[in-house]
Amino acid sequence: MPSMANTVLTDRAATPVAHTFAPQGSEGDSGGRYVEAAASSLGDKVFKIVPRSTPGGRRKIDLSLSIPVLVTETINGVNSYAVARTSRASVTFDFPSDSTLQERKDIVGQMYTALATATGQVNSVLVDGESVW
């Protein structure tokens, strides 16, 4: 089992930025919660990885990322932070108990490729808000 360590996730900015998420506790029995701290904890970006087993012997791994956008509100001359909106993503991998290492590698690799910019159709729907026709 890997120990919790900083996790770096790179965005797709014109000049890509590597975001470092530091361990901030556990999720369930064997999962981890990672945070990239903001000016206020309201704006913390949170990445979670939560593996679990089902009664049928399957192994599920949930990945999630939550990215809030903070704004400053001024009420009676006092500035405070508020969350304007939050973007979220989640992916669940679901493996049979008898899946092979290669089968797991293949599905992870194919999902990674599906999310790549070069996979135009998927990128157009996810990022550009288009429909498939």
pLDDT (tens digit per residue) in 36-73: 999 889 999 999 999 988 888 899 999 999 999 999 99
- pLDDT, residue 73, reads 92
- DSSP at 57: S
- pLDDT, residue 1, reads 60
- pLDDT, residue 122, reads 86
Residue range 92-97: average pLDDT?
Answer: 94
Query: What beta strand segments (E) does 1-133 contain?
Result: 7-10, 18-27, 31-36, 45-53, 59-75, 78-95
One of 3.30.380.10, 3.40.50.1400, 3.40.50.300, 3.40.50.720 is the CATH number of 7-99, namely 3.30.380.10
**24 has a pLDDT exceeding 80:** yes
Residue 20 pLDDT grade (very low, low, confident, very high; cuts 50, 70, 90): very high
Q: What is the dihedral of CA 38, 39, 43, 45, to 10 degrees?
A: 0
The answer to whether residues 97 and 59 touch, using CB atoms and an 8 Å cutoff, is: yes
